Structure 1
């Protein structure tokens, strides 16, 4: 009985932590949607079309950025001194290839965005993403202090 109680308590604690992380992620996404919508001044006609394109684009971009971070993390975990020049060069090429894929993704999605929003709004989107990420990092750093 005691083990069952401890197990339930542990399971509840883990579930609450998972829900909390999900809530934080959802709050961040909601804040980002509001921030971008306001910055782009999307009309009611533009918004649904824009968000359909953006969600697809952003998912692919997140995957590529994750790959870049993973590759860069491998460099630091393995230690640059432990790798030979050929291995280091291959990792650097992989990082650059992933960064190029991000640039290619921007080129691929530009015409899609421009069917829905103006060039000025697209430029504002790129600025809004940078600003939102910068503000989020500042807030996270402030909360850790």
Structure 2
């Protein structure tokens, strides 16, 4: 019970530390990753045996997800922004839309694979809890980021 109270406080203070000027992006991402590992481990109540199996699967999932978003989707969205959707031909717009849909489908299939891989390890209820914990972490991260900017 104490850990549930301590973790949100740790998260808030740690996120404040990562937002300080002078740190490079890699350090910030490493801190965020460490906070996420701690948060998910606590929320899912992972045993050490479960952690040994969980983290390689989850890390591979996150790496593939990152590649899809940053290597496929980001350049497409940048190109669409540069041209402007109103200025491109219908043919070009359809091509970009198809490429974005393909990337979305890849992300969807990747998530399905994660669920399939995690069900035997965690069980369906904890897989749902994983989804919620990811969303909760992202909300806290975004909230902290907004607080620092505003």
Across the aligned residues of Structure 1 and Structure 2, the Cα RMSD in angstroms comes to 1.7
Determine whether 1:46 maps to 2:50: yes
Q: What whole-Å deviation, never above 9, does each CA across 1:99-129 have from its counterpart, x for those lacking one?
A: 0111111222322212321111111111111
> TM-score normalized by structure 2?
0.78
Q: 2:141 aligns with which of 116, 136, 141?
A: 136
> TM-score normalized by structure 1?
0.80
SS of 1:50's equivalent in the other structure is helix
Q: Equivalent residue for 2:83?
A: 78
Of the structure 1 ranges 120-129 and 19-28, higher mean CA displacement relative to structure 2 is found in: 19-28
CA distance in 1, matches of 2:114, 2:147: 34
Instruction: Flag structure 1 segments of 5+ consecutive residues without an equivalent.
Output: 1-15
Q: Equivalent residue for 1:36?
A: 40
Q: 1:126 aligns with which of 119, 122, 131?
A: 131
Query: Which has the larger Rg?
Result: 1
Q: Equivalent residue for 1:59?
A: 63
Q: What whole-Å deviation, never above 9, does each CA across 1:33-68 have from its counterpart, x for those lacking one?
A: 011111111112101110011001111011112222
Aligned length: 129
CA distance in 2, matches of 1:128, 1:73: 30
